[in-house]
Amino acid sequence: MAVFDTMIFVQFFVGLFAAVNPIGIMPVFVTLTVHLDKQERNRTAYTAAIAVAIILIVSLLAGQMLLDLFSISLDSFRVAGGMLLLSIAFTMMNGKLGEGKQNKQEQSETISREQVGVVPLAMPLLAGPGAISSTIVYGSQYPDTWSTITLITTLVLFSAGIWGLFKVGPAVVKFLGQTGINVITRIMGLILGSLGIEFIASGMRALFPGLAT
């Protein structure tokens, strides 16, 4: 069993931040809530943060059970998850701000929804496939009680950070501008791509031990 330490905690948080890219999603949040007053916008930000926490914590706790249910090894899932992270990373490095996480049908449905905090903000824009797969990998790799508590704490703190960012979203978007948002998105994409390659490499070494020699 792998031993959980502070560096793993930091790696999980940074990888999650890169996968979710809340700064890159802020312009989408501002656009979706432009018709709301400040109190309603803050309530939407709170709803999105709570939904993200719930989705990722459930993924963390139920991830290994799902892998066992479909007889999928952690190493196979790590390789698949790494490929998914790489795919999202390439989209982000091209300056995309959520287009790859939300299809056209979901975008059109958003127009008719009054409550956008859960859909599409929390799912699929924030707690999308990349964040979920990354959470499942870490949860399955460090299944002991202390590690699980630490990971849940990380998810709660991360969700609180999303709430704080979205509360000041309009001001941040105005300050950074589209160019600043694109630069941050590309940097996050580079970090996410590196994490995806690390997932793939570690999974391949375990699946094919001969590659490590």
Note the pLDDT tens digit of each residue in 62-112: 998 988 899 988 889 889 888 988 888 888 888 665 555 555 554 444 444
Residue 123: which of 62, 189, 30, 48 has the closest Cα? Answer: 48
| CA-derived radius of gyration, the chain | 17
Q: What is the mean pLDDT of the chain?
A: 84
- CA triplet 142, 128, 115: central angle to 5 degrees? 125
d(CA 180, CA 177): 5
| Burial (Cβ within 10 Å: 0-12, 13-18, ≥19) of residue 153 | exposed
111 CB neighbour count, 10 Å cutoff: 8
SS3 72: coil
Q: What is the model's pTM? A: 0.80
